[in-house]
Structure formats: structure tokens, C-alpha cells
A and B are shown apart, each in its own frame.
Chain A
């Protein structure tokens, strides 16, 4: 069974540009989560989808970040316009719809570098 996949693995963009990150969860997993780790800090929660609905977006830093999950399958996270402090590793995780109490399976991450 394929795990959570993320694309691209690494992205380098200039400040002010737009970047879109993609996450494909494990097939059949209705819960999808985005996290990020900025340099030197802890991994922080961004938001949680249940199918196509945003269940919890309390961790989204500001309105430059837009997450979507149309159709309840893959998800995209767009940063527009990117700022230097957005650099870091963006992780996606998924879990089955079992009250959300199951293990979260993580993708390999997308390393975003904003110059």
C-alpha cells in the first residue's frame, strides 16, 4: 500500500511568488492534516480536513495560506505571496475516519525555501 505522498519534495522560490504544495493521502483516509516545521522550531499544526471539509484551521498563520481538498481526495496548500518566514518543511498526514483517534501517517514532507 502506498503511503502518503507529497509533491514537490523541494521548492525554491523568491519572496512574493506563489507556491502550491500537494498531498495525496493514503487511499480511503478521510482525515488529512497539514503541519510545518520552520527552522529551529517545533512541528506545528496548520489545519485538518475531514473529507473535503475543514474541521480545524486554527493553526493557519495568516490569509496568505489557502488549503483546499476538493472531492475529498488530495489536498493542496497554496502560499501567496510567499515571505521569507514561510521557509520550512511542510508535512501532510492522514488517518482513517475512526473518530480521528487512529495513528496519523506522515508524508515525506516538502522543503520550501523562500529567498
Chain B
């Protein structure tokens, strides 16, 4: 079975501080991992995916297969980063559905 765990429902940091949103997964096959973000009054949108190895809006995430983690990091948080963040998993082969974690609400304090 596929499962994604985001241990923090709420995370609050000050502007300019580093931020790390945790994501752990369990899946016996080869996974593809994503981070989706939902800003206030906007739709859910893809932030980044592990296969592209990009840095988007200063965020990075590295897939650690040994620890089955895909934590999202940013060295210096900005107020506009305040949003709901969802980690998601998809099987590389087979079913194309996304399996989401419960989400972490990130608040950046000025």
C-alpha cells in the first residue's frame, strides 16, 4: 500500500528563517514524489517533483530512499510562502493516481 505522512499539521516560522516541511512515505515499489502548494484562495498547484531536481521559489526537496523521505526545504522563508503544502506520491509504473499526505499549513511571521 502507498502511504504519505506529513507529521506537522501546522508550522510557523519567522521571515528570513530556514524552513523544513517533513514528508515520509511508504511504498514497496519505485515512487515518484511531489510537493503541491495551495495559496490562499488559489487552486492546488505543483511546486516541484523529485525527478526534475529543480529549485522552485527557492524551495528544494531531495528524495532519500534510505529514509523514505522527501522533505521540503527553503533557507530563508518569505511571507508569501505562507500556504498549505501537500506531499504526494505516485507509482512510477502502473496506477497514475496521486496519494497525498494530510498537508502542512505553513505560516511565515513578519
Q: A42-B101, A42-B103 are in contact. Are A106 and B43 (CB under 8 A)?
A: yes
Q: Does B69 contact A (CB under 8 A)?
A: no
Q: Does A10 contact B (CB under 8 A)?
A: no
**A:51-90 near B, CB below 8 Å:** 55-56, 58-59
Looking across the interface, which residue of chain A has its beta carbon closest to that of B92?
A101
Interface residue count on the B side (C-beta < 8 Å): 18
Interfacial chain B residues near A42, Cβ < 8 Å:
4, 86, 100-103
Q: Does A103 contact B (CB under 8 A)?
A: yes
* Contact of B100 with A43 in the complex, beta carbons under 8 Å: yes
* Contact of A48 with B46 in the complex, beta carbons under 8 Å: no
* Contact of B97 with A45 in the complex, beta carbons under 8 Å: yes
Q: Report how many A-B pairs have Cβ atoms within 8 Å.
A: 51
Complex CA–CA separation, A33 to B90 (angstroms): 13
* Contact of B97 with A33 in the complex, beta carbons under 8 Å: yes
Interfacial chain A residues near B102, Cβ < 8 Å:
41-42
* Contact of A108 with B43 in the complex, beta carbons under 8 Å: yes
Q: Does B96 contact A (CB under 8 A)?
A: yes
Complex CA–CA separation, A56 to B102 (angstroms): 22
Contact check: which of A55, A58, A101, A106 meets B44 at CB < 8 Å?
A: A106
- Listed residue (A3, A4, A45, A107) with the most chain B CB atoms within 10 angstroms of its CB: A45
Q: Does A100 contact B (CB under 8 A)?
A: yes
Chain A nearest CB: distance from B27 CB in Å? 14
Chain A nearest CB: distance from B67 CB in Å? 21
Q: A3-B43, A91-B44 are in contact. Are A31 and B96 (CB under 8 A)?
A: yes
**B:91-110 near A, CB below 8 Å:** 95-103
**B:21-56 near A, CB below 8 Å:** 32, 36, 43-46, 49
* Interface residues, chain A, with chain B CB atoms under 8 Å away: 3-4, 31, 33, 35, 41-45, 48, 55-56, 58-59, 91, 95, 100-101, 103-104, 106-109
A3-B43, A42-B4 given; name 8 further pairs at CB < 8 Å.
A31-B96, A41-B102, A56-B95, A100-B96, A101-B32, A106-B43, A106-B44, A108-B43
